[in-house]
Amino acid sequence: LDRNISFSLYMTHGGTTFGHWGGANSPAYSAMCSSYDYDAPISEAGWATPKYHKLREFMANYMAPGEVQPEIPDAFPVIEIPEFELKETALLFENLPEPKTSRDIKPMEHFDQGWGSILYRTTLPAVKAGTTLLIDEVHDWAQVFIDGKLIGRLDRRRGEFTIKLPATAAGARLDILIEAMGRVNFDKAIHDRKGITNKVALITESSSDELKDWQVYNLPVDYSFVKDKNYTPGKKVEAPAYYRATFNLETPGDVFLDMQTWGKGMVWVNGKAMGRFWEIGPQQTLFMPGCWLKKGENEIIVLDLKGPEKASVKGLKTPILDMLRPEAPLTNRKEGQNLNLKNEKPVGQGSLKAGNGWQEVKFDAPVQASHFCLEALNAQDGKDNAAIAEFYLLDENGKPLSRQHWKIAYADSEETYGGNFTADKIFDLQESTYWSTARGAKYPHQVVIDLRETVTVFGFRYLPRAEEGYPGMIKDYKAYAKMTPFSY
């Protein structure tokens, strides 16, 4: 500002996305929650935060003569809603629409649907125990049922596309319920089809048989679709279901709906789609503008695809946007897991030059690989920390290989307490985010990438952190590439 240079704030006001409008990043696939509060100077609910006041005070120093800052508008009234139970339920599998038929698997868009969930149903042949069910690909979160019994769940964020099946008699009903989460909003993955994008197959040691002849049920997010279910009095169930209730208000106002006791799904209030919830967090509340509430009776409908711990809702005066309850560890290293490189031969080794900006390394010869490991032996600053902002592999022509399907198979250390510095940040297209090892973790450090395809590798590009002094920048390294997974 002293040099009269403009700047932008991301975000000044993030707000909330409502409905199913939250987007996603890729690679690695990461769906956004409904809140876009972003810890912005103006909060999700339009409040002027302490950060806003500091910014306003600072900007006053750079106003032109005669300029005056406008008054800050008052915040809208905020209310509380006492806890109430949702005692009417409608099981999803008992309230299906008319199906569409398809010989082959097609994505959601083929069936004229853009958001929500979709159910694929077919009949199984006789299945031996241990047979692998391949769903190629899950976009984005799947539950697999056989004759109504939950077999397991698959999560695109974790690259999960297979599940082991129990022994099953011929004629059993296979249901694959898919929830579409956020659509990728930039780069090559923006063509983000939802549902199942390619095929479903049964795989054994000796065969691979694609399943055909599907009944497909559209489960959109329109209020007209969710309100006309066969709701009956009942308690919570451990199955996909709709829940409905009414609550009364003397005075409407802005409120945050507390969804902490629910699993995964979506909420409608007075016909308005409030947004998505997921127990894993960090968002545990949904912002409800008071203008969509009314004095007297109000209706709420909740679709929970997993099943709630308790089918109740209450309204809070403040949001909960920072509570993580992950279903799986946040890091890419299993308990007790240690990478074994003892019998591996490096395809490249050397030293990087100290300094900010991209560096490129070429190997002596190209190599075919589907798995890659970068081992950092020490740091430029002599400390324990290792960091990578962005990382590319190069093909035989020195061109960057696609990272679209990469998956972190292993990282010896990742910082998750002081921030989100997991290893997938090395290919997230964001130079400002980075993988960082945890404090106190000693060198050497390794990160292993499952490329999920066979490629020719002839080198790599490495970008250290952009800050002054390039903290955590790797000095000496070894690179390994092979066609089979590494040993642990």
Q: How confident is the model at residue 294 (pLDDT cuts 50, 70, 90)?
A: very high
At residue 235, does pLDDT exceed 90? no
**pLDDT at site 234:** 85
Q: Where are the alpha helices (DSSP H) in 178-334?
A: 223-227
Mean pLDDT of 247-264: 98
pTM: 0.88
> Which DSSP letter does residue 157 get?
G
Q: Tell me the pLDDT tens digit for each residue of 54-88.
A: 999 999 999 999 999 999 999 999 999 999 999 99
> In the structure encoding, which two tokens stand for residue 22, read together?
């939250």
**Average predicted confidence (pLDDT) for the chain:** 96
CA 106 to the chain's CA centroid? 23
Mean pLDDT of 372-396: 98
Q: Tell me the pLDDT tens digit for each residue of 117-147.
A: 999 999 999 999 999 999 999 999 999 999 9
**pLDDT at site 326:** 80
Task: Tell me if 362 sits within 8 A of 485, measured CB to CB.
Answer: no
In 42-124 the beta strands, taken as DSSP E runs, fall at 81-85, 88-91, 100-102, 117-123
- As assigned by CATH, the class of the 348-482 domain is mainly beta
The CATH number of the domain covering residues in 96-219: 2.60.120.260
**pLDDT at site 236:** 83
Strands 23-25 vs 183-184: parallel, antiparallel or unpaired: parallel
At residue 330, does pLDDT exceed 90? no
Q: Tell me the pLDDT tens digit for each residue of 8-39.
A: 999 999 999 999 999 999 988 999 999 999 99
At residue 328, does pLDDT exceed 90? no
81-90+229-316 and 96-219 agree in CATH topology: yes
DSSP 300-321: EEEEESS--SS-EEEEESS---
Q: 327 in the Ramachandran plot: left (φ > 0), alpha (ψ -120 to 50) or beta?
A: alpha
**pLDDT at site 466:** 94
Residue 416 main-chain phi, psi, to 5 deg: -125, -5
- Name the strand (E) or helix (H) holding 441: none
3-class DSSP state of 273:
strand
Mean pLDDT of 1-14: 92
Angle among Cα 67, 72, 75 to the nearest 5 degrees reads: 165
Q: Tell me the pLDDT tens digit for each residue of 266-283.
A: 999 999 999 999 999 999
Mean pLDDT of 146-154: 97
Write down the domain spans for the chain.
Answer: 81-90+229-316, 96-219, 348-482
Q: How confident is the model at residue 329 (pLDDT cuts 50, 70, 90)?
A: confident
For 128, half-sphere exposure in the C-beta direction (CA atoms, 13 angstrom radius) is 7
Dmax (CA) of the chain: 82
At residue 413, does pLDDT exceed 80? yes
Q: How confident is the model at residue 213 (pLDDT cuts 50, 70, 90)?
A: very high
**pLDDT at site 418:** 82
**pLDDT at site 113:** 97
Task: Tell me if 286 sits within 8 A of 256, measured CB to CB.
Answer: yes
At residue 355, does pLDDT exceed 90? yes
Angstrom CA distances, 252 to 78, 79, 236, 313, stand at 8, 7, 28, 16
Mean pLDDT of 285-290: 98
Mean pLDDT of 196-200: 97
Closest CA to 290 of 260, 269, 264: 269
At residue 383, does pLDDT exceed 90? yes
3-class DSSP state of 59:
helix
CATH 2.60.120.260 fits 81-90+229-316, yes or no: yes
Q: Tell me the pLDDT tens digit for each residue of 438-456.
A: 999 999 999 999 999 999 9
Q: What is the dihedral of CA 246, 247, 248, 249, to 10 degrees?
A: -130
Q: Tell me the pLDDT tens digit for each residue of 98-119.
A: 999 999 999 999 999 999 999 9
**Residue at 293: amino acid letter:** L
